[in-house]
Amino acid sequence: MKPAPFSYERPRDLNAALAMLAANGSAKIIAGGQSLGPMLNLRLVQPELVVDISGLAALKRAESSRDELVLGALVTHADIEDGRTPDVTRGAMRGVAANIAYRAVRNRGTIGGSLSHADPAADWVSALAALGARLTLRSLAGARTLAVEAFVVGALESALHAGEIVEAIHVPARAVSAHWGYAKSCRKTGEFAHAIGAVLVDPAAATARVVIGAIDTAPIVVTDAAELFGGRVGADYKQRFDARIADLLIAKAGINDAVRRHIHVSVLKRAVHEAAA
């Protein structure tokens, strides 16, 4: 389990990094290395060049305004868990971060790397979609923004273009009236989830975002989830949660196995109960 030979660069500014990526089509970015490391060692990827972005101070910044938090791509899970970054989600992100993998992985793993890797079972992929986060992507040609659910397009597939980098993640502030529920089922602590349910329900605003994650492909993101609660989102949403609609959504996403669907629906139900608790 040793990687195939590759060249290595550790640029000091973002433009230099972007230029290296533009110049070498098979280059791979490494951030925390927690996903890329194993893939290199298993020779699942064999890039000619690895561009280590861990020296880009600009990507480590975290800034919050009244209605938005901007996290640089290199912010680690542990930074969020420990509260070293500001929080606009009233603890929602801290809770998610604290249950990613093991502490050793959280010390190095980054939020940008996690999203870019686009593992369907990764926590940020589902949690940030439920929170309504957006990403800034940058290349030599300029920057664009995408919603998380538009960024993760399939299993280990993102909307990143060649030469592009995830620069920052924008998380909208969670309304005081919004309830948050996040549940996942792992067979053991630190293991990737087999089912994730994430819900952001605002009974006052009658809105709900629901995410069913850790399916074989990009998570199911329901931005207007009234149908899952009998057609409207009110204070009694927990009682009105409709497991059959959830089951249909999961079946529509291509999961034919009734056992898996049942587990996903049950985990989503846990998230709804947590939000309502």
Ligand X SMILES: Cc1cc2nc3c(=O)[nH]c(=O)nc-3n(C[C@H](O)[C@H](O)[C@H](O)COP(=O)(O)OP(=O)(O)OC[C@H]3O[C@@H](n4cnc5c(N)ncnc54)[C@H](O)[C@@H]3O)c2cc1C
**Stretch 146-165 residues interacting with ligand X (CB under 6 A):** 160, 165
Instruction: Check if the beta carbon of residue 215 is closer than 8 Å to that of residue 238.
Output: no
Residue with tokens 């989503």, as numbered in its chain: 268
Binding-residue total with ligand X (CB under 6 A)? 30
Q: Count of CB atoms within 10 A of residue 40's CB?
A: 21
Q: Does 72 bind ligand X (CB under 6 A)?
A: no
- Rounded CA separation 69/66 (Å): 8
Find the binder of other proteins among 195, 200, 212, 214 (CB under 8 A). 195
Partner touching 230 among ligand X, other proteins, none, CB below 5 to 8 Å by kind: none
The sign of the dihedral angle between the CA atoms of 166, 168, 174, 175 is: negative
Instruction: Check if the beta carbon of residue 244 is closer than 8 Å to that of residue 228.
Output: no
- Rounded CA separation 193/184 (Å): 6
Q: Does 155 bind other proteins (CB under 8 A)?
A: no
Which CB, 203 or 219, lies closer to ligand X? Answer: 219
Binding mask 80-119 vs ligand X (x if CB under 6 A, - otherwise)?
Answer: --------------------xx---x--xxx-xxx-xx--
Could you say which DSSP state residue 55 is in? G
- The closest of 56, 10, 34, 68 to 167, measured between CA atoms, is 56
- Rounded CA separation 32/112 (Å): 9
Binding mask 213-252 vs ligand X (x if CB under 6 A, - otherwise)?
Answer: ----------------------------------------
Find the binder of other proteins among 3, 11, 33, 55 (CB under 8 A). 3
Q: With contacts defined by CB under 8 A, name the span among 51-59, 79-87, 129-137, 258-266 that binds other proteins.
A: 258-266
Nearest approach, Cβ of 45 to other proteins (angstroms)? 14
Which CB, 63 or 191, lies closer to other proteins? Answer: 191
Partner touching 259 among other proteins, ligand X, none, CB below 5 to 8 Å by kind: other proteins
Partner touching 2 among ligand X, other proteins, none, CB below 5 to 8 Å by kind: other proteins
- Rounded CA separation 144/166 (Å): 10
Instruction: Check if the beta carbon of residue 164 is closer than 8 Å to that of residue 137.
Output: yes
Could you say which DSSP state residue 215 is in? S
Residue ranges that bind other proteins, judged by CB under 8 A: 1-5, 38, 42-43, 185, 187-192, 194-195, 258-260, 262-263, 266-267, 269-270
